[in-house]
A = this chain, B = another copy of it.
Amino acid sequence: MKYSVVVVDDHNLLSQAIGGLVEGFEQFSVLYTCKNGQELLDKFKDPNNIPNIVLMDVNMPILNGIETAQHLYNEFPDVKVLALSIEEDEKTILKMLRAGAKGYLMKDVKKAELEKALMEVMEKGFYHTNTVTKVLVDSLSHKEDKSIALKEREIEFIKLACTEMTYREIAEEMFLSPKTVEGYRDNIFEKLNLRNRTGLVIYAIKNKIFTP
């Protein structure tokens, strides 16, 4: 009996192509493919649609890889999630692993490595490349709070600071006094070591708080 795999990727061609690869593996077969997390969760309502492994792109619209993985981890702990991404970004990798992914593959892995990863996930329960292992090790020393000291409301503010609004307008939008918003700004500048709003915008984009 082959192990069943579901491929989730928002790009039709890619999910089909990757599905094609998987079909070529001795021990695996593709159950179906999905375009996003929401579609996957809908499918899971039918117990026949629950596979052994979900091979999932991290960047998807509607319900992204991280959120979807978290959901699966809570609701369907037996399903093994293997993340597939072009992002080598440390924070993304960590988020995905925290969400319970059993492995994280860059999209430039070779076909043979994909097969190996699938096998190891089924046999050992996980598969981690050197890159990912290194990120994990680094994350231990590299004290956590380096950047993640940002609070919910601050992030909300940063998003608005990435528009042409003045702080006064941002304050209105957030139902706060302009002075409070300026306080947010000053704190964030201090925390992130920034000089002005331009720096904040660039920071926000680099760290995916805001996407242009």
Contacts and interface: CB of A to CB of B under 8 A. Distances in A.
Given A20-B20, A202-B212, A206-B212, A164 B13 contact: no
Contacts of A149: none
A187 interface: no
Q: How many copies does the complex hold?
A: 2
B111 A13 contact: yes
Contact of A11 (B86, B166, B201): B86
A77 interface: no
A164 B20 contact: no
Contacts of A10: 108
Contacts of A125: none
A11 B108 contact: yes
Nearest to A18: B17
A194 B114 contact: no
A104 to B, nearest CB: 13
Interface string A72-97: 00000000000010100000000000
A110 interface: yes
Interface string A22-53: 00100000000001000000000000000000
A162 interface: yes
Interface in A156-203: 161-164, 166, 194-199, 201-202
Interface of A: 10-14, 16-18, 20-21, 24, 35, 84, 86, 105-111, 114, 161-164, 166, 194-199, 201-202, 205-206, 212
25 contacts: A10-B108, A11-B106, A11-B107, A11-B108, A12-B107, A12-B109, A12-B110, A12-B111, A13-B18, A13-B21, A13-B105, A16-B21, A16-B110, A20-B20, A162-B198, A163-B198, A164-B194, A164-B196, A164-B199, A166-B196, A197-B198, A201-B201, A201-B202, A205-B205, A206-B212
